[in-house]
């Protein structure tokens, strides 16, 4: 088989010769009892850069030994890019949410052999899921591999936004020491109302991690959590996003991007939020309307916005979120810490081993199978396509 793997660029100065830590902590299983990926083998050192082009997700030896062809590239956008050329006779495409290869209907239709799309991470919205269903292309992702990594990033961003860390750090970097400038937008989170839109693997973990800060916790999800969890976290369920945003000082967004959630936080929804609230969105950029977010930060309707997800990705150099006031944005990094890379590389290998030996891929890794949403896809997504507008990614110029 021919496997096309689209990964992010190597570090500008080349692959690291050494890493800060020589070993990763051992994690036995995820909180709901799900096991970590269990591939039959591993040809990489845990804790190294596996997600960039030269890391190749540690797959080359395994694939070539089994007679497959592996093509790895980061050239994924714009007419004539290498990924589009290689896709034409590929059987499997592997891509990442951090540097997404937008697998639109048009691209799928250019690839008659294509049978599988695998996400090295979580969130398969960069694949036109409707077209995948129509063309019988199975879609898999490595559910849970980086959910807890993202929850850590969410806590970091909530605390740093509310305390106004970015401003204070910038003052130090400029050689300054004006304390009043440093604290005139700085609060404690203690006592605040913090709510999540979606309490799946990430949303629930973020709630659990925020609990020790003595905040009031809220959530909205299509699937209600067990009563025991609501009781344990003293968690208030809301029956709509509107009801949640009306009372929360901090809203974190943790649902997948699909037709139901695209543009969910538009001008109207933001106007229903508590004045001066904060948003942390590590789910997907397209869930928030980019102009409405920037305008709300300017007017004071929002006090801060942070996250690591943009649309499209890479974000064009002039994307409005790069320059809006009171933002704490990072590039799409929360789910690709060195710790997470090990888990998603193992997970991709497990999925490939199943495909090659015609064994069923785990239900929790399944998004689309046999032309239908299935497994996690059935639980967390709706039919349709969310890749519209992705051609804009070609506007990004590497710096």
Residues near ligand NAD (CB under 6 A): 121-123, 146-147, 150, 197-203, 220-223, 254-257, 260-261, 282-284, 308-309, 332, 334-335, 376, 380
Residue among 146 and 168 whose Cβ is closer to ligand NAD: 146
Gap between the Cα atoms of 191 and 215, Å rounded: 5
Catalytic residue list contains 360: no
Looking at the DSSP assignment, which residues form a beta bridge with residue 6? Answer: 73
Q: Which residue is nearest to ligand NAD (CB)?
A: 200
- CA angle (334 as vertex; 94, 257 as ends), nearest 5: 65
Shortest distance, CB of residue 280 to ligand NAD, whole angstroms? 11
Residue among 167 and 382 whose Cβ is closer to ligand NAD: 382
Residue among 334 and 339 whose Cβ is closer to ligand NAD: 334
Shortest distance, CB of residue 269 to ligand NAD, whole angstroms? 12
Catalytic member of 153, 238, 284, 369:
284
Under 8 Å between Cβ of 122 and 335: yes
β 69-73/92-95 pair status: unpaired
Shortest distance, CB of residue 237 to ligand NAD, whole angstroms? 12
What is the CB-side half-sphere exposure of residue 81 using CA atoms within 13 A? Answer: 19
Residue among 147 and 385 whose Cβ is closer to ligand NAD: 147
Residue among 200 and 304 whose Cβ is closer to ligand NAD: 200
Shortest distance, CB of residue 336 to ligand NAD, whole angstroms? 6
Under 8 Å between Cβ of 101 and 76: yes
Residue among 3 and 197 whose Cβ is closer to ligand NAD: 197
Catalytic residue list contains 146: yes
Residue 217 is given by DSSP the state: E
Catalytic member of 332, 349, 362, 369:
332
Gap between the Cα atoms of 375 and 348, Å rounded: 17
Handedness of CA 45, 47, 48, 51 (dihedral sign): positive
Buried b (16+ CB within 10 A) or exposed e, 245-268: beebbbbbbbbbbbeebbebbeee
- DSSP string of 126-143? TB-HHHHHHTT-EEEE-T
Gap between the Cα atoms of 103 and 118, Å rounded: 11
Q: What would the two tokens of residue 200 be?
A: 């799946």
What is the CB-side half-sphere exposure of residue 97 using CA atoms within 13 A? Answer: 30
Shortest distance, CB of residue 82 to ligand NAD, whole angstroms? 24
Closest CA to 120 of 374, 347, 385: 347
Shortest distance, CB of residue 252 to ligand NAD, whole angstroms? 11
Catalytic residue list contains 332: yes
Residue 103 is given by DSSP the state: B
Instruction: List active site positions.
Output: 146, 284, 313, 332
């Amino acid at each position: 088989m021919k496997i096309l793997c689209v990964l992010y660029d190597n570090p500008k100065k080349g692959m690291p010769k050494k890493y800060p830590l020589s070993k990763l902590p051992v994690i036995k299983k995820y909180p709901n009892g799900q096991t970590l990926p269990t591939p039959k083998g591993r040809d990489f050192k845990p804790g190294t850069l596996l997600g960039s082009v030269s890391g190749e997700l540690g797959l080359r030896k395994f694939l070539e030994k089994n007679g497959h062809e592996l093509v790895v590239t980061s050239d994924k956008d714009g007419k004539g890019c290498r990924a589009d050329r290689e896709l034409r006779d590929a059987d499997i495409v592997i891509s990442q949410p951090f540097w997404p290869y937008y697998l639109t209907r048009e691209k799928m239709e250019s690839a008659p052999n294509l049978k599988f799309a695998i996400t090295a991470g979580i969130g398969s919205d960069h694949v036109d899921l409707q077209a995948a269903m129509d063309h019988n292309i199975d879609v898999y992702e490595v559910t849970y591999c980086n959910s807890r990594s993202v929850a850590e990033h969410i806590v970091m961003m909530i605390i740093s936004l509310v305390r106004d860390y970015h401003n204070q750090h910038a003052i130090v970097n400029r050689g300054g020491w004006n304390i009043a400038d440093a604290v005139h937008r700085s609060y404690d989170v203690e006592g605040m109302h913090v709510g999540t839109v979606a309490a799946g693997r990430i949303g629930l973990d973020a709630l659990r991690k925020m609990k020790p800060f003595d905040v009031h916790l809220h959530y909205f999800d299509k699937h209600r959590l067990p009563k025991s969890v609501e009781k344990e976290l003293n968690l208030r369920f809301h029956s709509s996003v509107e009801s949640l945003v009306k009372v929360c000082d901090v809203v974190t967004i943790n649902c997948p991007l699909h037709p139901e959630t695209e543009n969910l936080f538009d001008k109207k929804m933001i106007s229903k939020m508590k004045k001066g609230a904060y948003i942390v969105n590590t789910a997907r950029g397209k869930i928030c309307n980019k102009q409405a977010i920037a305008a709300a930060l300017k007017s004071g309707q929002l006090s801060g916005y942070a996250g690591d997800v943009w649309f499209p990705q890479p974000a064009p150099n002039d994307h409005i979120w790069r320059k809006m006031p009171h933002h704490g944005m990072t590039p799409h990094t929360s789910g690709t810490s060195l710790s997470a890379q090990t888990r998603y590389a193992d997970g991709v290998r497990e999925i490939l081993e199943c495909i090659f030996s015609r064994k069923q891929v785990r239900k929790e890794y399944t998004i689309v199978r046999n032309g239908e949403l299935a497994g996690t896809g059935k639980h967390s997504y709706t039919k349709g396509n969310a890749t519209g507008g992705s051609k804009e990614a070609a506007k990004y110029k590497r710096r």
